[in-house]
Every structure is written in structure tokens, then in C-alpha cells.
Amino acid sequence: MTARVTIGVPVYRGERFVEETLRSIQNQTYEDFQVVLSIDGPDPICEAICKPFLDDGRFRMVVQPERLGWVGNLNWLLSQVESEFWYYHQQDDLAHETYLEVLVQSIDRLPSAALVYCDVVPMGRITDAFEPEPPVLGSAAFIRQMTVLHQHLVAFPLRGLTRRQALRTAGPIPTNSTGQRPGGQRDVLIGI
């Protein structure tokens, strides 16, 4: 039987943070999920760090035979989704223990929604100016939407809970010249 949520974690040279990240996933109050770890090319250090999590039946690990790049690895993970919902989790992000629970409750209340997401709070080494998260909690729906459009952090939707049908409709993520995410930043995912 498939879990209700598939959590995809692309891993590449993640030895500094991946253990703490996987522990934050493992400690979610909502437990009906499976985690697919995709290590982007052979990496004995990350493989060893991730291996103890395989004792938890919700976790599985695949080591890609060659480097796919961030976009390629994420697209591979997207192709593995058979569950009702998908949730992307970056190798260096931490999630509040109720994050997934809040997302599932929200999408269950909104059956027509393709995607729900919560606030993301950046932490760690940030070199560029950062706009605070949109102050939308408790506002009217129109005001929330306009605020998100005007003061958005593009990482919010990517880290949300998405219906599988929406993934199939959208198709794979287009590639770019590098396929990489800028480094030096961690995010904390907060369910509100």
C-alpha cells in the first residue's frame, strides 16, 4: 500500500546537513509518508549518512549511477511519485515537526487546490538582502493572493504539498545551463 505523501530528497554533497534534515522529516507528526532519497551520483559519505534511515520502512535510497544535476535529479524523483501527494525537501532544509500535518490538513480542506504551502524562513549564511515572508496570515483570500504575488519568495510553492495530478499536468522541470541552486543558504519550513 502506498503512503499518502511521497517526500523527494535530492542529495548531492550533502554531508554537512543531510542527517539533521532527514531527522526533521522522520520526526514529523504526520506519519503517512514515504521518503525517496536520490543521491546524485556515487557518494560513499552521503550514502553512509543516509543508510541508518533505511531502518525506518518509510525511507528508501537510490544512488544514481552518474550525476544528473539538480534539475535532472529532481525530475527523476518526480517520476517516482505514485502517492496522492508530492513534497520536495531540499537536503539542507529543516521542517517544523507539524509542517507536513498542516499541509495535509490544508489540502484536505481545499479539494480543488493543486498545491498548498506554508512559510519558509531562511537561516544560516545569507549574503543577499532578504525580504521577510509575506504578512498574509489571517487576511482575506484576495489580499493574501495579491501579497504573495507582490512580495513572494519563489521557494514557497516549490516546497509545498502538490497533488500528483498537478505534477503530471505540469510535466518535468525544464533544465537550465547549470541545473544548480545557489549555495550557502538553509531554509526552515514552518507550518502555520
Q: pLDDT tier at 181 (50, 70, 90 boundaries)?
A: very low
Q: What is the pLDDT of residue 151?
A: 55
185, pLDDT greater than 50: no
Assign 115 to helix, strand or coil: strand
Task: Look up residue 57 and give its amino acid.
Answer: G
**The pTM is what?**
0.78
3-state DSSP assignment of residue 118: coil
Strands 85-88 and 33-39: unpaired
pLDDT category, 87, cuts 50, 70, 90?
very high
Assess contact for 65 and 87: CB atoms under 8 A. no
In this predicted structure, the answer to whether residue 51 has a pLDDT above a threshold of 70 is yes
Q: Cell numbers at residue 192, please?
A: 502555520
- Domains of the chain (ranges plus CATH)? 5-174+185-190 (3.90.550.10)
